[in-house]
Each structure stands twice: as structure tokens, then as C-alpha cells.
Structure 1
Amino acid sequence: MAWATGSRGPGGRVIVLEDSRHVGEVREMLDTASGDRHHQIFVPGDRMDLGDNLVGYGGSFHECDTEASLGDDFYLQVQNYSITQYVSVIGPTLVRITDEADFEVWLGDADTAREKGEFAEFLANPALLVADLPGLGAPLDGAGPRHRLYVRAGGELTVSPYGSALGRLGDDLTDLEAAWQQANAASVHPCAVTLAAALPETVRAVELAARPWLGEYLLAVDALRELRSRGVLRVRASGFGGRLRPENDAVEPARTQARQLVLWTDESAYLYTADGSRLFELNRAAAELAELLLCQGSVEAAAEYAPRAALLKVQQFFERAGVSL
């Protein structure tokens, strides 16, 4: 999941090989990296007992309308984004942006959610994940070669199947990191590497820059999937088709990466956090105050619309829980 989505995993580097003949070269590259001893290498092959840090897989993690398998127990369907709405999700499914057509459909779904509060139904399925999120506006926490690598059959090294090449087998890992940093430094909207083989960078960067709320959108999709897994349906997300408090409708929160989001149903309300995917169930009044704090940016600004003491109480509750609103 961490490798496919580009999110921060539990630790270490995940490497996926297209060709098992490169195992030795990959191990040599890792052995020369100072302190780099925590990694997992996925290698084509049906056998699962390939030795330390090696996992055999069947099929493909990048070809759409196919599947990848781990042993006889786990099968991952791989689909491109634009057709996923037309197929049945019957098990774990990875959805990829493979070209401009996929990207346009993805943007259209995001725009509809922002304007009307209507999210594409398939995105809330707990069995489905969208790949390469840093190329779509997510944080870069797990995007780079420190966390994930993809080794093409020809020996090119990148971070994802649709990423631009950062180097080749035999290159030093620090050089790969430097190449990734350089590509992003030249981009208006990092990550410029993850989807570079699928989309022109000028198209991707312009569209993402026009939608500074895409980080919130991806957070909302995560939250909807989490709530669906708990049987919670017909959920609204703050900032998408409206907010709980009308005074927040015209407010655009400070554009650091979105880390918390308020959601609600007719019966209850929730605060979802990006850090650790934590979910808090709240009453309506507390959720309104949390939304005020997130939208207004501080207790002082929010106090124009609600009692300061109540705002402080909500803020301090979340601080004790390790969440900074």
C-alpha cells in the first residue's frame, strides 16, 4: 500500500522489480548505502521463500486490467482510473492514472465533489486505493526514493511505474535522491517525478495549482473510505459542497497540507486526521467548533463567531489526544 500510493509506510524502503535478474544488483546498491538495512524487495516469481527481505509476486503491479498476486491468498486488481466507475470492485483494487484521459476524469470527479459535495461512489470503497498520490496533490512524505523504488526491466530506476527515470542500476542511492529533489525543485507543483511518464508536467502542474484544495480532497476520500468500512454512509465533508458553519463557507484555510477534516452525517459528526488515520466521533456542537478552528486558523479568529471558552475546550481536548487544530 505504501509503495503503490506513495504514502509514508511503517519504515524502510520498498522496491519492486520488473525482472528478477536484477535482484543481485539491487542488493549491491542497498549494501553500499550507509545505514540502509530496512527494506523489502518484491520480485517476479511464484515462490514466496526467496530469502531475507525478498517477496515473490505474480502478475503485474502496473499493467491495467490485470492483477498481481502474493502467493495463493492475495490478489490485487489493477485498473486505470477512467474505467473504474464502470467495473465491479470485487476485491483489493489499485487504480492508476495512466494518461491524460484518466487525469481529466479524476479532475472532473474532484471538481464535482468540491462544488456539489458529491464524491464518486467507487472512491469510498474500502477495498480500493488510488496510486501515486504525491503526483495528485498529496504530501511528499513517502514519495521519494528513500521510501520506494521501481526497477524497470531495462535497469532504469524511478519511484513508480509511471515515473520519470532518476538513474540506472549501479547508481548510488544518494544520487537518486538528489535527482528526485532536483526534479521537484524545478516544478511548480511537486511531485514532478511520480506521474511524469503518464502526463506532461506542464498539464499536471497547471491543473493542480488551480486546485489548491486537492490535498483536502484526498484526505476526504481517505476519510470516506474509513467511515464506509465502519458502516457509516451518506457522509458530508467540510469544504465540499458546504460547511457545518455558514460563516466558514467563504473561508479558504491556510494552504499548508491538510492534516484534519470535519465530516458529518444526519446522526453524528467526525474529525479525521491524516497522521495515523485517526477518527474521532463528535457531537454536532464540538464538530462545529473544530471546523471553526480549522477554517479560521486560531482561537482568536474563531472567537468572532463562537465563545472563546468553548473553542479552547475543544482545542485542548484534541491537544491532549496529540492533534493540533
Structure 2
Amino acid sequence: MDTTGVGSTGPGTAPAGPRTADRKRLKDHLISWATGAPLKGAPGPGVQTLVLSDAAHVPAVVAAGLVGPSTLLLAPDDGTGVPAPAVGYEGSLTEPGDELSNGQDFFLQTHSYASSPYMTVFGPTVVRLTDRPDFEAYLADADRALTDGVFPDFLLTSSVVLADAGALGGSHHPADGPSVRLYADPDGYVSTTPTGAVLGTVDDSLDTLTRRFAELGPDEAALGAVVPQDIRDQALRSRPFLPRYLKAITAMRILMAHGRTGLKVSGFGARLTPELAGAAADLDDAALPLVVHGDSGTYMVISGRLFAVRRETARALECLLAAPERVTALVPAAELDVLDELLAQHGVRLNPLQAVAA
């Protein structure tokens, strides 16, 4: 991702007034800010993306050392400009149903999770859990996908990003934290996300905020202001399939963006192999490969990468995951050899008697 363009250059180096970020840079930073995935490139001093709810806090975050040469510092612009080195924005990144604009050619919508099925997506959109009903709606959608194979249409739209999926059963990026993203509310309290637990204030240093983040953990830092930790932990523990559910959504989004139709995911209310119709899948291990099949092809997700494969190879993997004790009766030995070679190329070993990701 491009991290060049308008950056912070320190206090007082430019007059207050309209400052802009090019469309790609703004989009890259805001996706990183919503998901916790850091931007590419060597990290520098300061936060990669820092969003303020009040431009009056610009001097404080600069004085605290939160703003570095490559930081994108965003502050609301009421039409009179924002203090340097901030970039002004119009609208909101936190209010469901609102949108952020750079005043030129970029718009980013924010939807609450529960309202998303009823909203029209016009462009880049962040879907965020904003309260307990949103969390319950997310869990209900995941449960329905597991039993019926029906995934939420809005999450399969290529322009939609689910915020903070790592706190919803997905994988946190190991670099996520205050050095990647911060949000300051109107009162100057700072968190990594608008829905996360408070880490400190706009006067605190990055080291102080990072220590607090480490104490809380990434889940609480992302969603602590929305769902109590004990409730979230219990819900996720009772649904060990959630990591694979989120991986399935990612794979389907990619395939649908390339025109693939009729997509189904093995173990989520569907089977490619008729003999496995009643078999329970091993969905507890997020590292295991996924099988996706549609009207015009079959695919595997292996170690985070998506591949088109022969139908026979996909069936072999499905059998190995869902019914390892029956695999030799369902799959020709030659096809298992082909599968084993393919998986080995990506560092995955599956034992016919016990599927284990290496």
C-alpha cells in the first residue's frame, strides 16, 4: 500500500487551511484503520493513521509524539480548515449511516452491522459492530451460515470491509495496536477504534498507549466499549468455527468479484461429495484448508491463498477433512497423492486418520 503523499511534517510547518490526501492513500489508510492491518513499508515514528473527532486536539497529539513523518492525521473540517499537519475531512467515520468525505472525490460509508442488510452500498463501506444487538446479529448470521450455508450478502460485496474481524473470531494482525491506528473522541479519550476500550488521552505518549493496549489485549481494545469481554469470550468459545467462517467470507468475496456464482463452502450447510451429506466437518482448526465450489469451478484456500483446483482434488480434500476414517473408500489413492503433493507445496500435511495442519 502506498504510504507516500501528504504527511505530517511537524507543528507549524504549514498554515491552517485545506489539506488533502490523494484518494488511494486515504483509502489505504482508512482500511488499515478499520481492520488493524498495518500499511506496507517500514514503520516509522508515530501512528500510521490517527483519526480525531475534534480538530482542537491536533496540537496535543503532535506534542505527545503521536504524529510522525508518515502519519495520516485526520481531523474534522468545519469549512475553516484544520491545523497543520492534519488533513481535513467532512462527515463522520463513527456514526452509523454517515459517511466521510475528503471534500473532493472520496467517500467512505459507515454502516452498523444489524442495519447493513437494509442499506444500499454505493462505494467503499465499513461495517462496524456498534452495540450488543449488532454482536447478536453477527453471531446469528454465522450460525445460519454453518447450518444452512447462507452467508450475509453484504459481507460478500467487494467494496465492504468488516471492521475488527480479529475480535470476532478472526486473526489479529500481530502488529495491530496504537502504532498502527488510533481514534480520539470529542473529549480527548484515545482508543484504537471507536468501539474499543479507552487506552488514555491525547496527551499520552505512544509508549503509554502501547503499554495499556498490551494490558487489555487486542479484543478488548477493539470492541471493549460495545460488548463485555466475558460475553464476547463465551460466544466465541462456543463457536470455534468462526475463524473458518470469516475465511470463507473472504474467499467468496474474491471469487464473486471475479464473476463466480453459486458458491458454497464445504461444511457450511453444503457438500461437494454426496456421501458426506450427513458428515460433520472439522471446523475447529482455523489452519486447515477450505473447499469452495460453485457453478463453474472448485477452489481451495490453503495457508491464506486461494487456488482453482480440479473437482476430484477438491473432493479428496473434503473427504479427508470431513471423514478421514472413510477417505480410502471414497477417494482413489492416486487422487490422494495429487492432493498430498499440492498441500505439501504450501507447508500443509494431512494424515488420513487425523487431519492436522503442519
Instruction: Give the structure 2 partner of residue 120 of structure 1.
Output: 152
**Alignment-derived partner of residue 267 in structure 1:** 296
Identity %: 34
Contact 1:47 1:71 in 2 (8 A): no
Q: 2:96 aligns with which of 41, 54, 64?
A: 64
Counterpart residue identity of residue 267, structure 2? G
Taking the TM superposition and a 5 Å limit, the aligned residue runs for 1:153-302 are 153-184=186-217, 191-245=219-273, 246=276, 249-253=279-283, 255=285, 257-258=286-287, 260-272=289-301, 275=304, 278-292=305-319
**CA offsets per residue over residues 11-49 of structure 1, 9 Å max, x none?**
5432222222333333344479xxx76533223237999
**TM-score normalised according to structure 2 size:** 0.75
- 2:310 counterpart letter in structure 1: N
Structure 1 residues 98 and 114: alpha-carbon distance in aligned structure 2, compared to 1, 3 A threshold: same
RMSD value, Cα: 3.2
Aligned to 1:187: none
Q: After alignment, is 118-127 or 237-246 more displaced? A: 237-246
Please give the alpha-carbon distance, in whole angstroms, between the structure 2 residues aligned to 1:201 and 1:67.
29
2:57 is aligned with 1:27: no
Residue 76 (structure 2) pairs with residue 44 (structure 1): yes
Query: Are 2:40 and 1:15 equivalent residues in the alignment?
Result: no
Measured at CA, do residues 48 and 273 of structure 1 come closer, stay the same or move farther in structure 2, by a change above 3 Å?
Answer: farther
How far apart, in 2, do the equivalents of 1:302 and 1:96 lie? 41
Q: Which amino acid aligns with 2:263?
A: V
Residue 180 of structure 2 is matched in structure 1 by 147
Q: With the length of structure 1 as denominator, give the TM-score of the two structures.
A: 0.82
Q: Aligned pairs, how many? A: 310
Are the counterparts in 2 of residues 48 and 57 from structure 1 also a CA contact under 8 Å?
no
> How far 1:267 sits from its partner (Å)?
2.6
In structure 1, the residue matched to 2:35 is 5
Q: Counterparts of 1:20 and 1:233 in 2: how far apart (Å)?
A: 46
Q: In terms of mean alpha carbon deviation, does 160-169 or 144-153 score higher?
A: 144-153
Which deviates more from structure 2 when the two are superposed, residues 40-49 or residues 81-90? 40-49
Kept after mapping to 2: 8 A contact 1:236/1:264: yes
Cα deviation, residue 130, structure 1: 1.6
Q: For the Cα contact (< 8 Å) 2:178–2:209, is it kept in 1?
A: yes
The CA distance in 2 between the partners of 1:74 and 1:319, in whole Å, is: 44
Task: State the alpha-carbon separation in 2 of the partners of residues 178 and 26 from structure 1.
Answer: 17
Report Cα offsets for 1:120-147 as digits up to 9, x if no partner.
Answer: 2222111212212122111111542232
Distance 1:316 1:28, change over 3 A: farther
- Contact 2:35–2:162 (CA<8 Å) still a contact in 1? yes
Larger Rg: 2
Q: Are the aligned partners of 1:242 and 1:249 in contact in 2 as well (CA < 8 Å)? A: no
